[in-house]
Amino acid sequence: MVRDAKVNQVILIILDDIRAEHLFDLINKGKLPNIAEIAENGIKCSNCVTSYPAITFPCYGNIVTGSYSGYFPKEGNGTPMYHWVNRTDPPSKSKKPPFIRNYSDRSQVLKINKDIGKNVKTIFEQAPEGNMLSSFCFLYRGAYFTVSKIVSDVEGIFKNISNGFENPGMYFSNNEVPLISVGYIMHTDDIMHEKGFEHPDYINLIIECDKYLGSLMNTLKKTGYYDSTAIGLITDHGNFKANKVYDLEPFFQQKGFIQYNPKKGTGDFDCNFGSVGFFNFPGDTWHHHPSIRQMQDFKVSGKGKQEFNLFNTLWKIPGVKYMYYRDDKNKPEKGIIHIEYLEKSSGKKRHGMIEYRGFGRDQQTKYTFEDNDFYHYNDDEKSAKILDNKFHTLDEWLDATNHIDFPIIIDQIPRYFKNPRSCDIIISTLEEYGFNYDHGVTQSASPYIHDIGLRKCMIVPFIIGGSSEIPKIELKFCKTTDMVPTLLELLGIKPHSSVIGNSIFNYP
Ligand SMILES: [Zn+2]
């Protein structure tokens, strides 16, 4: 045991796409006895704030690294989103057009291990020594992960971890049990998109996960490791049901917008759009981000070769409530993100601004607006106090907004836009519409999505238990990037300097 260590091993289970309120409701109904056993005797929080946008990447990658998207040549996670166009800073002079990354393509998903970049470290890489086991955790840099011995059904994912304790020689030549194991269950997300969060198949799958976790806990008890092991459980984001679904294909076709083709370097735009839309447009070339002026006078290459003001055009998409884009003069260390929003009471378009400065843990942001603030921070006594025209850190935003909609979004938006791989314009319909539109194609008519800044998407469960060495604590709030530093502290290991989350033991 390392000096100051409370446990000898940690296991982290990441379930995809479960709201805190749904998980704790099932616990309270007695449906998840094993998760309850861990939560009731250890650390629990039903108000853990995830990353924005509430999409598997960035959320899941940020859990595993304890960091966020950023200006990744210098700091932060290189992966801004599930889909991105590979633009660099400065723009590449290559004749080869930038590729589109799309992690829903199974042949691309393991590239995440390279994409996150060198300036962040996975939980596995943050430990100086010891055996590391990834059970279907795609972001496995620094761990043992093989396809042949790792089974990918839900029961198998838990069993792989049990094997690490029953028969470590199966994975590790030194025959020692893994110091850190991470299991990732994406199956809950698949069913949520297909059938929805109310569907019995979705709920039963969560109950099944609890059962397999129970088997893993029994293995740990039987092999004598239970009391020296911390078990963490977290999800990457919640979800919602869009009020309406809509096929966006004709909208762009009729205007002559041609989908970007990364093989040829042709096309006018690239977009992926659940209820939040991420739009990429070419500047001088597809390697360049466009200036605001270039987006105001934008000529399409398709039918009619018409000119559009892209800002006005995107506002015509049904249900759009707000829009974000970066200022032309932005630098990685300092800049402005513009917000345009529709004021509900007057139906008028208003302008707001997020100013940012600094990097990583030291990033500070300030939010200003004309008339009413879009997020309704002003309506709540606690959050209204932070609208003081001053710059604030992530933890100050967390403290002020963890209990309302759009928690920490002012901190998160600049972290996204600082990344050279981020898009040019974000718009959101805020759950009114679901489009399921990726790269020129409407993929499905399912209304079950996740990506928006409302609590139903942004609030996830945070649980750490197992060993009796873990104190019984109920946290009022925390954030997903706190999981890794907390688990590392339990192991007596100092987190890497790129970690932005805090050990929950250091909370005031
Ligand atoms: Zn997810």
pLDDT in tens, 62-75: 999 999 999 999 99
Give residue 139 CA to ligand 1 midpoint distance, Å. 13
Total length of the chain: 508
pLDDT in tens, 349-389: 999 999 999 999 999 999 999 878 899 999 999 999 999 99
The set of residues, in sequence order, having a beta carbon less than 8 Å from that of 250 and lying 6+ positions away, is none
Give residue 61 CA to ligand 1 midpoint distance, Å. 10
Statement: residue 3 has pLDDT above 70: no
Residue ranges, CATH 3.40.720.10, the chain = 9-70+116-239+454-502
Give residue 450 CA to ligand 1 midpoint distance, Å. 8
Give residue 228 CA to ligand 1 midpoint distance, Å. 30
pLDDT in tens, 84-136: 999 999 999 999 999 999 999 888 999 999 999 999 999 999 999 999 999 99
| pLDDT of amino acid 169 | 94
Give residue 490 CA to ligand 1 midpoint distance, Å. 26
Give residue 295 CA to ligand 1 midpoint distance, Å. 32
CA-nearest of 156, 160, 123, 158 to 145 is 160
- Per DSSP, 173 falls in state T
Displacement of CA 446 from its chain's centroid (Å): 21
Reading the block at residue 410, the tokens are 């002012």
Give residue 103 CA to ligand 1 midpoint distance, Å. 11
CATH class of 9-70+116-239+454-502: alpha beta
Report the distance separating Cα 56 and Cα 431, nearest Å.
17
Give residue 250 CA to ligand 1 midpoint distance, Å. 29
| pTM assigned to the model | 0.97
Give residue 239 CA to ligand 1 midpoint distance, Å. 9
The set of residues, in sequence order, having a beta carbon less than 8 Å from that of 77 and lying 6+ positions away, is 58, 61, 62, 65, 67, 68, 69, 70, 116, 117, 120
| Least confident segment among 120-124, 141-145, 214-218 | 141-145
Give residue 193 CA to ligand 1 midpoint distance, Å. 10
Q: What does the mean pLDDT of the chain come to? A: 96
Contact present, 296 and 333 (Cβ < 8 Å): no
Give residue 487 CA to ligand 1 midpoint distance, Å. 21
The set of residues, in sequence order, having a beta carbon less than 8 Å from that of 232 and lying 6+ positions away, is 10, 11, 12, 13, 463, 464, 483, 486, 487
Which residues are within 5 Å of ligand 1 (an ion), measured at CB? 16-17, 56, 189, 236
- Per DSSP, 505 falls in state G
Three-state secondary structure string covering 63-121? HHHCCCECCCCCCCECCCCCEEECCCCCCCCCCCCCCEEECCCCCCHHHHHHHCCCCCC
Give residue 302 CA to ligand 1 midpoint distance, Å. 35
Reading the block at residue 71, the tokens are 């200006």
Percent pLDDT > 70 in the chain is 98
